[in-house]
């Protein structure tokens, strides 16, 4: 794609707009090129109505474009969708700025807080102040809370932030 937007970024945007289903649809659009709603439904297993809604969202953000032509055999009109090669870069830049800001706030939060966790993957991590209030017991499962090392999260956030900052420079 010549728009200066990487496939990964597009995928991320599709996910922001349409969740996992949005990402799935974008993947297929990227692979196939021109495709109808029905073909998308067949390939993804997502319901036609959901696909239509997501396609209109993508369309409104200038991520995809459509074309209509008459089927030579049946005489019926066929609508096909495809990725838009010249994406609105202002939209992309704006979205990146938003993601960047969110990541920076998150990083700030991670850096300034000490976290506690019960070890149960489905339970949330608890900031120190809250952990004190619940006397270091998980508010969800009541197991004792242990200090949580958030270095990995911090590293991940820092990496993501510098990636996006780098992309925004270009």
* Per-residue tokens: 118: 């019960």
140 binds Zn ion (CB under 5 A): yes
Cβ neighbours of residue 54 under 8 Å, at least 6 residues apart?
17, 18, 21, 22, 25
Instruction: Say how many C-beta atoms besides its own lie within 10 A of residue 75's C-beta.
Output: 7
Cβ nearer to Zn ion, comparing 5 with 126: 126
141 binds Zn ion (CB under 5 A): yes
How far is residue 62's CA from residue 87's CA, in Å, rounded to a whole number? 6
Among 28, 64, 138, 164, which residue interacts with Zn ion (rule: CB under 5 A)? 138
Q: Which stretch binds Zn ion (CB under 5 A): 40-48, 58-66, 137-145, 147-155?
A: 137-145
Buried b / exposed e along 6-33 (16+ C-beta atoms within 10 A): eeebbbbbbeebbeebbbbbbbbbeeee
131 binds Zn ion (CB under 5 A): no
Q: Which stretch binds Zn ion (CB under 5 A): 22-30, 66-74, 97-105, 117-125?
A: 117-125
Q: Which stretch binds Zn ion (CB under 5 A): 81-89, 104-112, 135-143, 157-165?
A: 135-143
Positions in the binding site for Zn ion (CB under 5 A): 118, 120, 123, 138, 140-141, 143
């Amino acid at each position: 794609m010549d728009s200066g937007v990487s496939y990964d970024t597009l995928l991320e945007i599709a996910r922001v707009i349409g969740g996992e289903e949005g990402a799935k649809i974008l993947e297929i659009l990227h692979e196939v090129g021109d495709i109808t709603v029905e073909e998308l439904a067949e390939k993804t297993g997502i319901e036609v109505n959901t696909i239509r809604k997501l396609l209109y969202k993508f369309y409104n953000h200038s991520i995809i474009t459509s074309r209509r032509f008459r089927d030579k055999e049946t005489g019926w009109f066929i609508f096909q969708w495809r990725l838009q090669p010249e994406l609105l870069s202002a939209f992309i830049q704006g979205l990146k700025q938003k993601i960047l800001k969110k990541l920076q706030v998150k990083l700030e939060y991670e850096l300034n807080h000490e976290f506690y966790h019960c070890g149960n993957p489905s339970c949330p991590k608890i900031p120190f102040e809250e952990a004190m209030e619940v006397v270091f017991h998980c508010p969800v499962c009541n197991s004792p809370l242990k200090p949580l090392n958030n270095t990995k999260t911090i590293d991940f956030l820092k990496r993501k932030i510098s990636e996006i900052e780098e992309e925004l420079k270009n």
